[in-house]
Amino acid sequence: FQAAHQQLSQSEHVLIIGAGLIGTELAMDLASSAKTVSLVDPCDSVMATLLPDAVSAPLQKQLRKRGVKLHLNNSVQSLEQSEFGIDVTLNSGDQFLVDSVISAAGLKPNVQLAQQVGLEVGKGIVVNRQLQTSQPNIYAIGDCAQIENKVLSFLQPTLLSANVLAKALLNGHV
């Protein structure tokens, strides 16, 4: 942590890969610390899986107002260390130089075992509102579970899901 903190404190331009909750928060914090920030994400808005467009659009406006350079609908093609810093090339062809790179690209659920036993899998292990998978006696919870086409990989949704699962199991839905 100390080494990373020292490097960031000496950096003038920071690349953040991933405009989810963590990446967006880091971008705001670093921009508030007078850093130049480039934020790259393959989605067309920041926090695309968490916020509706009506909320995301004003947030993007604030980020730009703070000087954050948004590279949405884009991804990093290459990073190469040079004597001047890290050369960044995006899929769009844009190129720029940064001093540090932070990956906040998020989690990807490991669904290999679920696939092997024949569970329905999408972005995660597909479950209903009671966290039941496509097999009646198998449940999934946490950042591997896909509920209503979303994988909710944060503590609060997992705690709420645990309560739902406990009620389902106690009410004999097993």
| pLDDT single digits (tens) 30-76 | 999 999 999 999 999 999 877 888 999 999 999 999 999 999 999 99
Q: Which pLDDT score is estimated for 155? A: 64
Token digits of residue 5 = 């903190």
Average pLDDT, rounded, for the chain: 89
- What pLDDT, on a 0 to 100 scale, did the predictor assign at position 172? 65
Q: Is 169 helix (H, G, I), strand (E, B) or coil?
A: helix
In tens, the pLDDT along 140-172 reads 888 888 988 888 766 666 777 788 888 877 876
Per the CB < 8 A criterion, the answer to whether 31 and 24 are in contact is no
Buried/exposed code over 57-89 (b: 16+ C-beta within 10 A; e: otherwise) = eebbeebeeeebbbbeebebeeeeeeeebbebe
